[in-house]
Amino acid sequence: MLIKIILTVIFLLVTIGVGIYSRKQAKSVDGFVLGGRSVGPWLTAFAFGTSYFSAVVFVGYAGQFGWKYGLSASWIGIGNAIIGSLLAWIVLGRRTKLMTQHIQSRTMPDFFGTRFSSEGLRVVASIIAFVFLIPYTAGVYMGISKLFEMGFGIPYSYCAMIMAALTAIYVILGGYKATAINDFIQGIIMLFGITTVIYVVLHNQGGLTEAVNKMAAQVPTAHDLEDKSGLFSTFQLGDFASWFGPNPLSLLGVVVLTSLGTWGLPQMVGKFYSITDESAIKRGTIISTIFALIVSGGCYFIGSFGRLYPEPAFSPEKHKYAFDSIVPSMLETLPDVLIALVVLLVLSASMSTLASLVLTSSSTMTLDLIYRDKKSTDDEVKGGEIDDEVAEKIERRKVVIMRVLIVFFIALSLMIALNPPQFIAQLMGISWGALAGAFLAPFMLGLYWRGVTTASVWACFAWGVGLTVVNMMLSNSLLNPIDCGAVAMVGGFIVVAIVSLFTKKMDTNTVDSIFKCYEK
């Protein structure tokens, strides 16, 4: 216990120290939100990866999908690396950097408002982002708190409150730069921790070959067959050790949600706004992909051996397992030093994700709702109507409001985490489904296609949020939150394409001026 406490205290002191070190660069809006648009490839790549993977993945998703799909759950990690990282950087990285800098966009709602000449889009997008980032944040709290409860014996509620307070301190102090530096430190811990845990888990099972042989002998339990998903209705012996598991189609839905989803999440896409230049994007692509392959692939690979450990508790009323307890129970057998390492691993992943979420939410509310007339203010400053001293006061006021909203956002999501309505994976499915379902298609197509219309963006917002909310409110949902999220994302492209063909086009001169950024 002493080793656990010492390592955790050192980690937390370093985290807060980085916040204090970075506070000088967090005085202006660009400095607080984007790190002055001068963050290098290593920091950006690690910030992307650590914001992507949190306790939601390590505890919630790895446990639940490892139990359901066996070794084939590893495909989720591979999909995260190839689709969620490699292709995301290739398809979105350069174009996002150039266009957002050209139109002076600081947030994703700001992009929609400026790119499609609509203040209404800016406002509605900011509300969608704020509302649906909350359940994701609550899921992150739940994941790390369950690990702390296992490793330190501290009650769940205290863990959640302590982590909320510490995250608030370093984000409020140092803004995005502090977040990026801490993400780099936390990313190194994650890489070292995940490789160590993989080795120990396999060693405890007699090696890789023996562990796979044990998984091949696994069959669904009686409680599995009570699951209403029908996942095991056509189960064959050996499916848990097969390439594509007991239900490949359901597995594909998870890959789509967790991989393609990053393309439409404000806290992920925002990383491309802040990177220094195009050469840094190329290096960041490689770094981010390798990071994702090790961390996400490792998480799902570990979770895929969950059936070799005691069966988790089952709730007859809900016809569900306590999936969030699977990974913690797997790790309880580790030596104390390794448990401390795992706690730091998940703490690192979770705090970096939380920092990104609260920074995104507060900046969106401040810049796109409270100060959404940014363009006119900037024009007044350039035209000399507002002197430098007044302009500086406005900048400071915006930063203060963002810091206040960070506290509000953390408190609100903490309240949900202390009384959670769903499992971790379902909370993330609702959040990612609504956000990426609404934002992914119009954002990506808006970077490439001049023909995207303002009406099609409105239609996609209604599609993504509407499908998620209606599915969530139905007592017997048409789809589980994860499959619903995947349908929302893919369907968004169809919605935008069809509506754009039959609605009024944007002014040609306006669109041409926006796309000039790619001509250099």
Q: What is the DSSP string of 54-118?
A: SHIIIIIIHHHHHHHHGGGGHHHHHHIIIIIIIIHIIIIIHHHHHHHHHTT--SHHHHHHHHTT-
Residue 76 has a pLDDT of 94
Average pLDDT, the chain: 82
Q: Give the distance from CA 405 to its chain's centroid.
A: 20
**In the block, which residue shows the tokens 């400053």?**
381
Average pLDDT over residues 246-250: 86
pLDDT in tens, 49-96: 877 877 667 777 888 899 889 999 999 999 999 999 999 999 999 999
Top-ranked range on mean pLDDT: pick from 110-124, 222-236, 398-412? 110-124
CA–CA–CA angle 136, 165, 59 (5° rounding): 40
Top-ranked range on mean pLDDT: pick from 90-94, 230-234, 270-274? 90-94
pLDDT in tens, 131-157: 888 777 777 776 666 666 766 677 777
How far is it, in rounded angstroms, from Cα 77 to Cα 404? 36
Sequence letter at residue 398: K
Alpha-helical (H) ranges within 304-385 are: 326-331, 336-365, 374-382
Average pLDDT over residues 247-275: 86
User: Which of residues 267 and 216 earns the better pLDDT score?
Assistant: 216
pLDDT in tens, 359-375: 887 877 777 777 765 44
Banded model confidence at residue 213, pLDDT cuts 50, 70, 90:
very high
Question: Contact, 399 vs 435, CB < 8 A?
Answer: no
User: Which of residues 135 and 299 earns the better pLDDT score?
Assistant: 299
Top-ranked range on mean pLDDT: pick from 109-118, 243-252, 345-354, 360-369? 109-118
Q: What is the DSSP string of 350-372?
A: HHHHHHHHHHHHHHHHIIIIITT
Question: Contact, 230 vs 56, CB < 8 A?
Answer: no
Average pLDDT over residues 483-509: 92
Residue 361 has a pLDDT of 79
- The number of C-alpha atoms within 13 Å of 494 and in the hemisphere containing its C-beta is 7
Question: Contact, 316 vs 18, CB < 8 A?
Answer: no
Question: Contact, 353 vs 162, CB < 8 A?
Answer: no
Residue 476 has a pLDDT of 64
Burial class (CB in 10 A: 0-12, 13-18, 19+), 16: middle
Q: Say whether pLDDT at 187 is over 90.
A: no
Q: Quick one: tokens of 22?
A: 């970075």
Average pLDDT over residues 324-332: 78
Residue 381 has a pLDDT of 45
For 314, other C-beta atoms within 10 Å of its C-beta total 16
Residue 421 has a pLDDT of 57
Average pLDDT over residues 437-447: 95
Average pLDDT over residues 366-391: 59
Residue 450 has a pLDDT of 94
Q: Say whether pLDDT at 478 is over 90.
A: no
Sequence letter at residue 370: I
Average pLDDT over residues 173-192: 81
